[in-house]
Every structure is written in structure tokens, then in C-alpha cells.
Structure 1
Amino acid sequence: MHTENQSMPPSPQRAVVSVVIPVKNDSAVLGRCLRALGAQTRPADEIIVVDNGSSDDSVRTAEVAGATVIYCPEPGIPAASSRGYDFATGDLIFRLDADCVPPESWIASSVNYFAHHTDVSVLTGPARFIDGPAAIRVPLSAIYLSIYTLMTAPALGHRPLFGSNFAMRREVWQSVRTSVHRDDPELHDDLDLSFHIGERHHVQYLKSEAMGMSMRPFRSMSSFRRRTYRGFRTVTVHWPRDFPPHRWFRMVTLQCRSRLASLGLTHEH
């Protein structure tokens, strides 16, 4: 998406921001998402909609909103998301889904946090349901995200990324782009990325920016079962290398080496 300041080159202090949205037949909600991105207090420098074989008006909706549309013929969200990250030119790469509605300060808060915390490589955050029965939106979103974290954090050894609400430095993606499982449509791309990123990069939780999202994961039991299956599959596809005791030991070893290096207590042989 083009902004009024696009003709002016960014200053060295101003991070360039790319937003990636994987899409397949999401025209009905994509327009709402893009309007919310257009209302950001700190606009994105580019918004990339990755079309994964839509048969509806998703591409037209994206183009009308001024987003850049690229195509991913390989099936699945992992392939589409990865293609978007590859295409992105920003110093910071943000990710959300087509059914999301970001708060107005979503980009600004994350950019500001990255600027003041150079040790943080990745930010992720919470979400809230914006449709479905009003009485259960808050408790259901809290339960949903808590279960996701409780089920995956022990396998990872750290907090997982939440694919509807995260941002990473460009160099982080460059360091893992050849190792992620981008060709397996039956994986959760955010959980897979968590395995590859979290071992060597600091993931921070930014709780102030709750992402608005659809309750569609709960609209059918088959959809929920499929998400659950993909979660278990994403964990086990990383075994035996990332079987929890092995992964935890590597992470502790890396952290100890990093700490010793920061204190100047390591030496080369």
C-alpha cells in the first residue's frame, strides 16, 4: 500500500514496515482487515496479500485497497506466508490473517518496541474475538490462546508465536527461510516458525495490542479437529532433533554461551 510519504526515502532511524496477509477465498473479511490497516496511526510501507488460489474476489478486494498482490501456487498457509516474507522489503515484517482487525496502534506500538529493545527479534501478542456470541467472546479467546500456549510452550521451551499477531526483524526471517517447512500444507506455519526462530532469537510478548479476530476456528467441529491435528503434527515433525529434552539442553547451552560471551569470559582455541 502506498502512503503519502512513499516518495520520500526513509531516514536511517525510520524502520520500513511490511505487512503480510496470506489469503484464500477471504474477500468478505479481507476488505475489513485492509481498512483497519489503512487506519493505523503508523501506516505500513507495504501491504502484501499472498493469494493462495482464491476463486472469489479476494484479489480484486486487495487491489482496490492498494495492497500489493502476489501469487502462491503451492497449497497451504506455510507456503503462502513464506512467499510473502520472501517478497517483503521491510526492515520489520508483520503478519496477520485476513479475518483480523488490528487496533489502530498495532504497527506503531511494535515499531516503537523494536526501536527501544534491540535485543528483541520477534514480537507476538494476544487476540480477542470480534464476532460470535458477545457473552463468550472474552472468556473463549482467553481459553483458546491459553491452551495454545500451554500445549506448545513445553515442546518449544519458550512462548509460541501467534500467527494472527506477530512481527519479526527481516534478518530473523533471512536466518530461517531455508529451514522452515514451507511445503507442508498440514502444518501450522506460526508454530513451525516458532521452532526455527525461538532457539536463537528472543521472542517477546506485547500484551497491550490485542488483535481482533474472527471466531471461525470454532464454527465447526471438523475445523477444530483439523487445527488440533495440525498442531500435533507440527510438533512431531520436528522430532527427534527437537524432542523436548534435546531442545531444552541446546537452548540452555546457547544461553550460557551467550551470557559468558557478554561477560568476556570466552576465548577461542
Structure 2
Amino acid sequence: MPEVQQVSIVIPALNEAACLGQTLRQLSILDPPAWEVLVVDGGSEDETVAIAESLGVKVLYSCKQGRSVQMNQGAQAASGDILCFLHADTVVPSDLIAVIRQALANPTVSCGGFITLIAGSTHTHWGVSLHNYLKTFYAPLLFRPHLFFKGLRLLFGDQVMFCRREDFQACGGFDPTLPIMEEADLCIKLVQRGRIRLINRTVLTSDRRIARWGPWKATALHLMIGFLWGFGVDAAYLKRFYQDFR
């Protein structure tokens, strides 16, 4: 009988008190359960750490802010066979672990992620959610067609990206110098070890940014960032562009 692959969930966090509790409570009822949940805090000034500790979750303290750095630190500390990177404002299905294990049981798959639905307390943003789904396919087809046909799909942070720990380490993990598009960069490295798969299941992400920007502005921002990245614009400039656009 093959050995069961254990899944470590890594959550980078910075001032996520408003949503972290809900996310962690959902993780506590996963069936089967995760091997471990690690919150990597980037210096929160709210109750993020207290909430995680009150729910019995291990907290790591990052000496530097930035999702790439924080996720790498969590991956280094994790002891599971599979790494799952989760945003603090994203709620996952209760069978998350079983779905991940099933996807990676295929040795030709190196990485996977989920379909994201962006929603608030009153409604789901179907247009923005649809664009997020489509860009998983059109972005690599437009900008890395040779890799698209090799199995490249570009996953983003709210898609709950997962991969084997050995593949993550072999690829060097997330590029700590990238302040944005770090997940897409990792996908390009991981496709050298197997196909990237978009799982036909949904996760629910908070619309807190969409609510602030509006759906049209949010979609325009994502389009511009994606195209600029595709044409090779420096990631530091993309980060400044993202912040200025907001």
C-alpha cells in the first residue's frame, strides 16, 4: 500500500486579523486533516498572531515582509510531503487534502491550483472571477506558448497553489527578489518537472480589494499587470505600478 502523502499548509500573513480566523476555522474541519498549518507573519500590527495562536496554529516570524520570503520560510519549516500555499482571506473546501493528494498522485503533474470565486457578504463577482479563470490559460498561451503546450498554466496567489516539497526545493522555491507575480514565476520553473493542473473545484476569496477598486478597475489592473509581465517588464516596476494604480 503506498504511503499517504502529508500536506503542509503555509499562510503568509500581514495584518490579516479581519479574515484569518474564518480561514483557520475552516482548516480545522478538513477531512482528512492537514498534516500542519503554518502562519508566517510579516510583522503584523493587529491581532493576526493572537488569532492564529488562539486557534492552536504554529506561527513563524519573518524578518522581512513579502509573500515570496514568507512562503519560502514556511516551506523550509514544513515537514509535509506536499506544500499548499494559502492566502489568509481564502476559504477552501473541506476535502481540500483529498483533492490535492489525488491531483499529485499523477506523476506527470508537478503543481496544481483551484478555480477562484471572488465574493463578499452579498454577492459573487462573476465577471472578475471569470477573468481570473481565463488568464490561467490565455497568459501562458500568449507569452510562453512553447511552455503552454508542455503543460504550463499560470496560477496566482488566490488559487491555492500546491506542489510536492521535493519539486519546490529542486526549483529553488519562490524568487525572493520578486515583489509581485512570484507564483507565475514558480509555475514556469515547475513546468520543467511536470504539468501544471487547474483543478475543477472552487475556493472562495474575499472581495475586499474588488470592493475598494470596483470590478472594472480590478480587471483592468490585472490585465495590465499580466501584459506588462508577459512583455518582460521588471517586477519592481510592476509593484510600483500596482501600488500607484490602486
Normalising to structure 2: TM-score of the pair? 0.80
Aligned to 2:153: 159
Aligned to 2:91: 101
Aligned to 1:168: 163
For residues 82 and 230 of structure 1, do their structure 2 counterparts lie closer, same or farther at Cα, with a shift above 3 Å needed?
farther
Could you tell me which of 188, 192, 196 is aligned with 1:199?
192
2:90 partner SS: coil
Residue 18 in 1 paired to residue 8 in 2? Answer: yes
Could you tell me which of 111, 115, 123 is aligned with 1:126?
115
Residue 215 in 1 paired to residue 207 in 2? Answer: yes
* Cα displacement string for residues 46-66 of structure 1 (whole angstroms, at most 9, x for unaligned residues): 101010111111111111111
C-alpha separation in 2, matches of 1:129 and 1:34: 18
Residue 56 in 1 paired to residue 49 in 2? Answer: no
1:1-269 maps to which residues of 2 (within 5 A)? 13-115=3-105, 117-131=106-120, 133-134=122-123, 136-147=124-135, 149-156=137-144, 157=148, 158-164=152-158, 165-177=160-172, 180-185=174-179, 187-207=180-200, 209-221=201-213, 224=218, 231-232=226-227, 234-235=229-230, 236=232
Q: CA RMSD in A?
A: 2.6
Code of the aligned partner of 1:166: M
C-alpha separation in 2, matches of 1:226 and 1:55: 28
Aligned-pair identity in percent equals 27
Unaligned runs of 5+ in 1: 1-10, 240-269
Could you tell me whether the CA contact under 8 Å between 2:42 and 2:70 is conserved in 1? yes
1:59 partner SS: helix
Aligned-residue offset at 1:237: 5.7
Aligned-residue offset at 1:171: 1.0
Task: State which structure, 1 or 2, has the greater radius of gyration over its C-alpha atoms.
Answer: 1
Aligned-residue offset at 1:43: 0.7
Aligned to 1:260: none
Unaligned runs of 5+ in 2: 236-246
Could you tell me whether the CA contact under 8 Å between 2:110 and 2:194 is conserved in 1? yes
Code of the aligned partner of 1:121: S
Question: Greater CA deviation, 197-206 or 31-40?
Answer: 197-206
Larger relative strand fraction: 2
1:42 partner SS: coil
Could you tell me whether the CA contact under 8 Å between 2:135 and 2:154 is conserved in 1? no
Code of the aligned partner of 2:108: D
